[in-house]
Amino acid sequence: MPRIVTAAMLVIGDEILSGRTRDRNIGHLADIMTAVGIDLKEVRIVPDEEEEIVSALNAVRARYTYVFTSGGIGPTHDDITADSVARAFGVPCEYDDKAYAMLGAHYAKRGMEFTEARKRMARMPRGAAHIENPVSVAPGFRIGNVYVMAGVPSIFQAMLDQVVPTLRTGTRMLSATVPCPLGEGVIGEPLAQIQEEHPLTIIGSYPKFGEGKFWTELVVRARSQDALDAARKDVEAMVAGLNATN
Question: Which pLDDT tens digit goes with each residue over 198-226?
Answer: 999 999 999 988 777 888 999 999 999 99
Closest among 110, 117, 115, 47 to 81, alpha carbons compared: 47
Final residue belonging to a domain, choices 116, 150, 166: 166
In this prediction, residues 158-183 reach a mean pLDDT of 93
Residues 189 and 130 occupy one common structural domain: no
Find the angle CA(230)-CA(232)-CA(233) to the nearest 5 degrees. 65
Percentage of the chain beyond pLDDT 70 is 100
Asked if pLDDT for residue 183 goes beyond 90, the answer is: no
Q: Please check whether residue 1 lies inside any domain of the structure.
A: no
Residues 119 and 151 occupy one common structural domain: yes
The per-residue pLDDT for range 63-113, each reduced to its tens digit, is 999 999 999 999 999 999 999 999 999 999 999 999 999 999 999 999 999
* Domain count across the chain: 2
Residues 236 and 145 occupy one common structural domain: no
Residues 159 and 189 occupy one common structural domain: no
Final residue belonging to a domain, choices 118, 145, 166: 166
Measure the CA–CA gap between 99 and 91, rounded to whole angstroms. 18
For position 31, what pLDDT does the model report?
Answer: 94
Residue 188's domain comprises 174-245
List the CATH number of the domain containing 141. 3.40.980.10
Residues 182 and 158 occupy one common structural domain: no
For position 86, what pLDDT does the model report?
Answer: 98
The per-residue pLDDT for range 106-138, each reduced to its tens digit, is 999 999 999 999 999 999 999 999 999 999 999
Residues 179 and 202 occupy one common structural domain: yes
Q: Please check whether residue 192 lies inside any domain of the structure.
A: yes
Residues 160 and 181 occupy one common structural domain: no
Q: Share the mean pLDDT of the chain.
A: 95
Q: Please check whether residue 93 lies inside any domain of the structure.
A: yes
Residues 60 and 108 occupy one common structural domain: yes
Task: Tell me the pTM.
Answer: 0.88
Final residue belonging to a domain, choices 166, 195, 221: 166
List the CATH number of the domain containing 192. 3.30.1370.10
- Angstrom CA distances, 143 to 88, 127, 129, 131, 170, stand at 11, 7, 7, 10, 21
139: phi then psi, degrees, rounded to nearest 5: -80, 155
Beta strands in 146-245 (DSSP E): 146-149, 174-180, 201-210, 213-222
Residues 107 and 208 occupy one common structural domain: no
Measure the CA–CA gap between 78 and 41, rounded to whole angstroms. 28
